[in-house]
A = this chain, B = another copy of it.
Amino acid sequence: MHKPAKVTIEDVAAAAGVSRQTVSRVINNGPNVKPAVRQRVEAMVEQLGYVPNLSARRMGGARSYLILSINDRARTFENWTSGRGNDWVDQMLYGGMSECERHNYHMVLELIDTDAGTTIPQIARAVGSLRPDGVILTPPHCDNLELVDWLERQGIPCARVGHYEGGNFVDVYMDDEGAMREVTRHLLELGHRSIGFLAGPLNYGPSQKRRKAFREALAEAGIPPEAGPIGAGNFYFDMAVSVLETMLAAPSPPTAIIADNDKMAFAALHVAADLGLKVPDDLSVISFEDTPGVRFSVPPLTAIRQPTAAMIGKACAQLIALSKGEEGMGAFELPYEFVVRATTKAPRG
């Protein structure tokens, strides 16, 4: 197990008969290199299998080629049981890594204990040691004002995913209002006249938008507010179960349920089974998330598919552009998709 000698920029320079700096120019795609020289250097890079050392690059004052993604520990699988976990992460990873890879960047993930109140020290530590070119904030961190302020003061470009508008940031999101309108209208057109909404937390931006659009779509169709009950206020399975039990026990219960995430939609499937209601004949169910496994549920869930991977990918792309000195700040809305599977149908009778 002997370490093979690692080839450095000097080795390439010597082999190509040029200086260190010229090789540097070539690998960074810099201007002012004669085509012939560039080619000769590239050949040597290839031949020697040279790969620039990221640490040295960083030391030399260049970019770090690192994008840091900050994630909430509470939302990992560790907390699936309690219902707080989700599986965004898979999609995030895919979207982020794919984009990073394209630019020879790397994505480093950090788990932060939001609840412990040590968010900023934890992030300071990661940012201080890694010195990333950009930071990606996912919920709930993207709404943490103190944190966002701190990052801004550090001068590190920052992207928020699932956050709307604001400041000198990259903000990436989808059209939550439009999606809710589409979903509600779909149900209305099917003939539903009473629709329940299992809503997410009040302080979660996208959920706010969806609540608003839900109410508006109902009002627009002349449905009275009491025929559009809103429940929950978090994303947990258990909570959704008990809210549903109440909702469906009402005198004229909803014939359709819109859930703010998959887990609550699954809760609807469970409660329906317990109550002997057939989905979609007796109860229609729509989810707002569409994590990959959803398509394999029985019956397969109709859902709004959040462009999670694309959002993280976009966030990375913008941060990378920024690190190259290009323009990048701004707000970006990505298209969602309404995937009609097997849990929506006209109500009985």
Contact = CB atoms under 8 A, between A and B. Distances in A.
Given A155-B2, A293-B87, A106 B110 contact: yes
Given A107-B108, A125-B51, A273 B298 contact: yes
A6 B61 CA distance: 13
A298 B297 contact: yes
Nearest to A88: B90
A78 interface: yes
Nearest to A111: B97
Interface residue tally on A, bucketed by range: 35 or more
Contact of A98 (B81, B111, B292): B111
B4 A129 contact: no
B109 A49 contact: no
A109 B94 contact: no
A211 B111 CA distance: 37
A317 B339 CA distance: 42
Most chain B beta-carbon neighbours within 10 Å: one of A4, A87, A153, A154: A87
Interface in A78-96: 78, 80-81, 85, 87, 89-91, 93-94
Contacts of A87: 87, 90, 291-293
A152 B1 contact: yes
Given A89-B89, A93-B109, A53 B129 contact: yes
Interface string A152-174: 11110000000000001000000
A54 B51 contact: no
A155 B1 contact: yes
Contacts of A58: 55
Contact of A55 (B55, B291, B299): B55
5 contacts: A1-B155, A1-B168, A85-B90, A87-B90, A273-B298
Given A53-B128, A97-B111, A107-B109, 11 more contacts: A51-B124, A53-B131, A54-B129, A55-B59, A87-B293, A97-B109, A106-B126, A108-B108, A263-B296, A266-B296, A270-B298
* 4 closest Cβ pairs, A-B complex: A51-B128, A80-B292, A55-B58, A266-B296
